[in-house]
Amino acid sequence: MSLIVHKYGGTSMGSVERIKNVARRVAKWHAAGHQVVVVPSAMAGETNRLLGLARELAPQPDGRELDMVAATGEQASSALLAIALQAEGVAARSYTGWQVPVRTDSSYTKARITSIEDTRIRADLDAGKVVVVTGFQGIDDEGHITTLGRGGSDTSAVAVAAAIKADECLIFTDVDGVYTTDPRVVPEARRMAVISFEEMLEMASLGSKVLQIRSVEFAGKYRVPTRVLSSLTDPLIPLDDEMRSGTLITFEEDEKMEAAVVSGIAFSRDEAKITLLGVPDKPGIAYSILGPVAAANIDVDMIVQNQSVAGTTDFSFTVNRNEFQRTVDVLKRDVIPAVQARELVTDEKVAKVSIVGIGMRSHVGVASLMFQTLSADNINIQMISTSEIKTSVIIDDKYMELGVRALHKAFGLDQAPGTDKV
Ligand code: ADP
Ligand code: ASP
Ligand code: MG
């Protein structure tokens, strides 16, 4: 008998028929003698619908109230799944984040899980029940409902798996694993049977929405064996086949069979670029600009400061497009008057494209092939950032898909492993 956490995303929970299929799949695992905790997302489109309603009422709604409304999507789908399981003859009970409780900090709309109480879950599992825990939500120390950021049900699932020391966390979704890039953009993308934890972390942090970044962080911190697999197969496929399907995140580099230099390409349209022209080039300037931004709880991604000319310089950085307006407001109020910048220039239509691979550590020329490939398609690179295992560029978002397809081909990702181009 194993203790398994299943997570089902929005598409997987997207209709009555799909919820029935989830219940059949969970019932199969339960009947095979496993203890199962299920973490569902809201039904497809529901979170967008709810947040859309709020934004029709106010351009920048209060975070606490946004979380109150957004959390209802998961509450509904969890109860519906418990009902579907009961209809399958499986004893099941659903809990909201605050009932478990899943404790978080108070950063509304992007809260972080701080702890998960496992008493109720364990008692129900020991009584032979399937436990359904809402994804995406928690409760802060003051008793306010919080949500974990878009895609946050992945994080709920892996965090629950860590808290109850599950044997495995299975992330069921609408693709059958992690691909070399989003198969919706590049149909030639290939599924990886395994991906190293570090690569998955980079892919997720650079925009691959298949897993929320914090879920990968939890998987790494607590060594939770995590697998991404399809919920759209026959729900009654044999357990052994299901347990071998999809993509396993591995913590052992040696286990990684496909030792490509570049393993995957991630991209994100959620970017906005902000430049302050003509700021004095003196000690403390980065802090004067980014300090107030950080104090407003806005994450800054890429940062570039230009060469100084006549004592002044230009300072550019990127933020999530959702936080663009708030960032501009902070700059106008707290930064521009203080640092005496000459001009504020913004571009909301940029995208980030990144190549990722642990093989980049030991190979030179990888970034240069990236730049060459983009230049061959006449794509202008606006910003560059690198780490040991990734290179990211900011480009005009209208060229994003073109760039991703060209890079996928240039690095041989559409071919069988072992055919590296570098
Ligand atoms: P869920 O609702 O199950 O959480 P998501 O839409 O959040 O599903 O994530 C699955 C989607 O992630 C896929 O449909 C796919 O378009 C996208 N995706 C992006 N990058 C990748 C990748 N490298 N491999 C697989 N899927 C990816
Ligand atoms: N329902 C939430 C969202 O749409 C959480 C999730 O699906 O993981 O972002
Ligand atoms: Mg998701």
Neighbour-count burial of 204, counting CB atoms closer than 10 A to its CB (0-12 exposed, 13-18 middle, 19+ buried): buried
Cα–Cα nearest to 100, from 157, 56, 43: 157
- Listed residues 201, 217, 252: the one ending a domain: 252
For the sheet with 102-104, list strands across it: 113-116, 102-104, 137-139, 145-147
**Claim to verify: residue 35 and residue 100 sit in the same structural domain:** yes
Token code pair at residue 330: 């902070």
Which residues of the chain have a pLDDT value below 70? 253-259, 417-422
**Claim to verify: residue 24 and residue 98 sit in the same structural domain:** yes
**Claim to verify: residue 340 and residue 228 sit in the same structural domain:** no
Point out the ligand 2 atom lying closest to the alpha carbon of residue 48: 4
Q: Encode pLDDT of 159-194 as tens digits.
A: 999 999 999 999 999 999 999 999 999 999 999 999
Question: What's the domain range around 324?
Answer: 264-410
Number of domain units in the chain:
2
pTM > 0.85: yes or no: yes
- Listed residues 196, 222, 252: the one ending a domain: 252
pLDDT at 259: 62
pLDDT at 287: 95
Task: Read off the CATH number of the domain in which 279 is found.
Answer: 3.30.2130.10
- Quote the ligand 2 centre to 403 CA distance (angstroms): 28
**Ligand 2 pocket, CB under 6 A:** 9-10, 41-42, 47, 73, 135-136, 150-154
- Listed residues 230, 252, 274: the one ending a domain: 252
pLDDT at 253: 67
Residue 171 DSSP SS3 = strand
Ligand 1 pocket, mutate which of 43, 47, 148, 175 (most atoms under 8 A from CB): 175
**Claim to verify: residue 84 and residue 47 sit in the same structural domain:** yes
Closest ligand, as measured to the CA of 12: 1
Task: Read off the CATH number of the domain in which 231 is found.
Answer: 3.40.1160.10
Is residue 169, in this structure, part of any structural domain at all? yes
**Claim to verify: residue 247 and residue 141 sit in the same structural domain:** yes
Torsion from C-alpha of 358, 363, 365, 366, nearest 10 degrees: -10
**Claim to verify: residue 247 and residue 268 sit in the same structural domain:** no
Rounded CA separation 138/146 (Å): 5
Cα–Cα nearest to 22, from 245, 176, 236: 236
**Claim to verify: residue 297 and residue 396 sit in the same structural domain:** yes
N- to C-terminal Cα separation, the chain: 46
